[in-house]
Amino acid sequence: MESIAHKIALKFTRVNFVPEKVTNRYYNRGNLVQIKSPTTTLTTSSSRNTRLFSPISVSKGAAGAGAGAGEEPELKTIPIGDPVSSVDMAPHDPILKDERIAGIASAIRVIPDFPKPGIMFQDITTLLLDPKAFKDTIDLFVERYKDKNISVVAGIEARGFIFGPPIALAIGAKFVPMRKPKKLPGEVISEEYSLEYGTDKMEMHVGAVQAGECALVVDDLIATGGTLTAAIRLLERVGVEVFECACVIELPELKGRERLGDKPLFVLVS
């Protein structure tokens, strides 16, 4: 019988994977996901070099960002709904009803015990290895954004660099990379955004975009929405209109869509 923890993991990944004897820890977009109650809650803790969750409810007495080796990271609780089947892969956007979605979702695999034991990693490299699924992904975005007068496709480091350029080329727009600090040469403007334990910055080249242009912001996945909101603010500061944000995957339990405010979000797999 499929365990509740397994079902909850499937709710996050929306793809099938071979049952493994693992702990109650899973890995999504650099975040440790620990099943704490079989039906009502899950807890999360941040790992390094990742996009972190925004505060929700933090347990007392746990180790913080400066915890020493061997200490448990700080955990927090996020309520979730009932577990769902892995075949429930309908996209969030109701206008997108396309048979290509199932193939895209099934091409995204889960790697158990990476980067360390007990962690389940959502891996899009298998999507990139599947020419049809990768082409379908790009085609679905292009079909949506062609003829929309979009002149800028802004891709968020790092996996937004994979999907953004082919979309930009197909719709006749320029590609603008949004990067972490000290990665872009030359003069940049930056926007600070909040992490669970501090802040980080998103940077863009001065002169890469002009006031009055229309932009699409692209990333592979939206979790809490922190980097997407930073990218939106950067563009709007210089007078660019943000048409929409586009992601391959959404983790709706983390409510990143709400953080975007009135900016529309389009996803393929939710």
pLDDT digits (tens, 9 = 90+) for 129-154: 999 999 999 999 999 999 999 999 99
Q: Which residues contact 172 (CB under 8 A, 6 or more apart)?
A: none
For the segment 7-19, the average pLDDT, to the nearest whole number, is: 42
Domain check: are 165 and 61 in the same one?
no
Contact (CB, 8 A) for 46 and 196: yes
Domain check: are 95 and 56 in the same one?
yes
Domain check: are 254 and 188 in the same one?
yes
Q: Which residue has the higher pLDDT, 17 or 160?
A: 160
Which pTM value belongs to this model? 0.66
Please state the domain count of the chain. Answer: 2
Q: Give the pLDDT confidence score for residue 112 in this predicted structure.
A: 85
For the segment 111-140, the average pLDDT, to the nearest whole number, is: 87
Query: Which DSSP symbol is given to 253?
Result: G
Domain check: are 115 and 137 in the same one?
no
Q: How confident is the model at residue 187 (pLDDT cuts 50, 70, 90)?
A: very high
Cα dist from 66 to 27, 29, 43, 62, 192, whole Å:
21, 21, 20, 11, 21
What is the rounded CA–CA span in Å between residue 111 and residue 22? 11
Helix (H, G, I), strand (E, B), or coil: what is residue 242? strand
CATH number, domain with residue 226: 3.40.50.2020
CA 193 to chain centre: 16
Domain check: are 94 and 221 in the same one?
no
* Orientation of helix 131-145 relative to helix 160-171, angle to 10°: 50
What is the rounded CA–CA span in Å between residue 82 and residue 121? 22
Domain check: are 135 and 114 in the same one?
no
Does residue 125 surpass a pLDDT of 60? yes
The C-alpha angle with vertex 198 and arms to 230 and 202, in degrees rounded to 5, equals 25
Residue where one domain finishes, among candidates 87, 109, 125: 125
Q: Give the pLDDT confidence score for residue 196 in this predicted structure.
A: 65
Contact (CB, 8 A) for 14 and 269: yes
Q: Give the pLDDT confidence score for residue 242 in this predicted structure.
A: 98
For the segment 230-252, the average pLDDT, to the nearest whole number, is: 96
Percentage of the chain lying above the pLDDT 90 cut: 52
Residue 208 is part of which domain span?
A: 129-269
pLDDT tens digit sequence for 243-267:
999 999 888 888 999 999 999 999 9
Compute how many other C-beta atoms are within 10 angstroms of the C-beta atom of residue 195: 17
Q: Give the pLDDT confidence score for residue 194 in this predicted structure.
A: 87
pLDDT tens digit sequence for 29-88:
444 444 333 333 333 333 333 333 333 333 333 333 333 444 444 444 333 333 332 333
Residue where one domain finishes, among candidates 125, 146, 176: 125
Domain check: are 41 and 26 in the same one?
yes
Q: Give the pLDDT confidence score for residue 270 in this predicted structure.
A: 82
Return the minimum-mean-pLDDT range out of 10-24, 27-41, 75-89, 181-195.
75-89
Domain check: are 106 and 138 in the same one?
no
Locate tokens 């900016």: which residue?
A: 263
For the segment 104-119, the average pLDDT, to the nearest whole number, is: 82
Residue where one domain finishes, among candidates 85, 106, 125: 125
Domain check: are 121 and 31 in the same one?
yes
Helix (H, G, I), strand (E, B), or coil: what is residue 152? strand
Domain check: are 165 and 262 in the same one?
yes
Mode of pairing for the β-strands spanning 76-79 and 41-46: antiparallel
Shortest CA distance to 110 belongs to which of 24, 10, 30, 235?
Answer: 10
Domain check: are 71 and 136 in the same one?
no
Helix (H) or strand (E) holding 139: helix 131-145
Residues identified as active-site:
159, 196
Domain check: are 144 and 228 in the same one?
yes
Whole-number average pLDDT of the chain: 74
Helix (H) or strand (E) holding 268: strand 265-269
Phi-psi region of 97 (alpha: psi -120 to 50; beta: other; left: phi over 0): beta
Q: Which residues contact 132 (CB under 8 A, 6 or more apart)?
A: 103
